[in-house]
Amino acid sequence: MRLVLTSFTRSLVIAGLAGLIGMSAALSQTVQPSPADLRLVPQSDAQIKLSFAPIVKKVAPAVVNVYASRKVVQRRQVSPFMDDPFFRRFFGQPGGNDRPRQRVESSLGSGVIISSDGTVITNHHVIKDADDVRVALNDRREFDADIVLMDERTDLAVLKIRGDGPFESIDFADSDSLEVGDIVLAIGNPFGVGQTVTQGIVSATARTQVGVTDFQFFIQTDAAINPGNSGGALVDMTGKLVGINSAIYSRSGGSNGIGFAIPAHMARFVAKAADHGGKVQRPWLGATVQLVNAEIAEALSLDRPRGVLVTAVFDGSPAFEAGLRVSDLVIAVDGKEVTDPNSFGYRFATKMIGEQTDFVVLRDGAEEHVTVSLQPAPETIPRDTRELVDYSPFEGATVMNLSPAVSEELGMEGIFDGVVIAEVKRGSTADRVGLRPGDIIRGINRQTVETTEMLEGITKKPPRVWQLDIERDGKVSQLILRG
């Protein structure tokens, strides 16, 4: 049987074929290829040899090793009574063996050169209590370095190389634009074996429950970070600095694929502070906030927990002057979303004094903008710092009068009055009694302690029994000691 096409049927077939061809063309424009179709075999030697080496060559000269050392005085003792001259007559060894001796402790970390004049940023814990700091460059040159700034609250420090530049440096990236899944390189000196590069991805941004610094807002990465990497560089694929490697999560002391870096945005803020007097001066809000949990979100008719709830606004503060109110829900700072008090504190604390910042708040169900002027915290009463040396439970403690300025420096949000312990000498009476930095001395023998002068006066006439009222973490406890 033959199929015979008349002129009419032939025209129908041709029209049908044209329609199918048109439909196929349309489908080819709308249907996306599957991931398997996107896999490509390298077509050239250049593609086979794709490497991070060009980025490493660019940034490695700006990453340094940091060696910090400090002298520790030790006394050889054969008896716990050696501090008493009478007992030393019996227990001291002849020949001067009980004389104080010095021992040198050292620590090793990494750092990043951020300007051609030899300015280096590293972690505070790398050079804490150091008497001498030395840096070694990638080309094996070594230089002494001066400590320009130390900021324990951010765990950052700024050094200055003593040497003739220019030095190779690295530029800051916009760490706020970093996204989960971005490829990053970690460069440092793990375990002191020499400069090492590891590669990974950004596992998370804005980690706020790490417990390493006061301003918790970390980049999490699976790039291997080990002891010695602290202070080293986390760089992106453009060769710019996105973070300062700071901590690892580990049960064994080695890398478990969870490392944390301080964002470049915070590092840049601290570096700018080093250029303006060598002291970090953060803006003061004059308000306290709390986390919005599921229960609070339901009470506020929110679709999900978000933002931070304002719980107190202090008279005369920048927050008060700006019109911020108790029960306002702050959901963004300068267009950046805030999810908890840590992320809010990071966004606010990285602003410079003299600027203004914009809060987006939910008030009575509607969004409003509140503009806050960034001012330093005032010292409403002189801090009158005193080191107590007279015999008392406070011997070896350094105390200050509390004010908004002192409260901000010590990270004691919202506590503006009283006498606070700023430092405790190791091995002192205050240390043995159990007093700690941040303790507030509220009373002695039922007498309110209002100033450091008043406290020192009490220690000069010690009572037979000490009844101390000490506030710690918002709770007041009594401590009774014999004089």
Q: Which residues are catalytic?
A: 125, 155, 230
Q: What is the DSSP letter of 177?
A: G
Taking alpha carbons only, the member of 246, 199, 244 closest to residue 226 is: 246
One-letter-per-residue 3-state SS of 90-137: HHCCCCCCCCEEEEEEEEEEEEEEEECCCEEEECHHHHCCCCEEEEEC
C-beta of residue 478 within 8 angstroms of C-beta of residue 441:
no
Q: Is 276 annotated as a binding residue?
A: no
Residue 296 CA to residue 298 CA, distance in Å, equals 5
How far CA 483 is from CA of 92, 421, 466, in Å, comes to: 29, 20, 6
Measure Cα distances from 423 to 295, 388, 398, 400, 420 in Å.
Answer: 39, 11, 5, 10, 9
Q: Closest by alpha carbon to 410, among 297, 224, 282?
A: 282
Nearest CA among 441, 477, 459, 314 for reference residue 389 = 459
Q: What is the 3-state secondary structure (H, E, C) of 393-447?
A: CCCCEEEEECCHHHHHHHCCCCCCCCEEEEEECCCCHHHHHCCCCCCEEEEECCE
229 is in an annotated binding site: yes
Q: How many Cβ atoms from other residues are within 10 Å of residue 159's Cβ?
A: 30
Amino acid at 152: E
Supply 455's token pair: 């406290």
Looking at this protein, which amino acid is placed at residue 483? G
d(CA 439, CA 399): 10
Report, in this order, helix, strand and coil percent for the chain, each rounded to 5. Answer: 25, 35, 40
Is-contact 195 189, C-beta < 8 A? Answer: yes
Peptide bond before residue 166 is cis, with ω within 30 degrees of 0: yes
Annotated binding site for substrate: 125, 155, 228-230
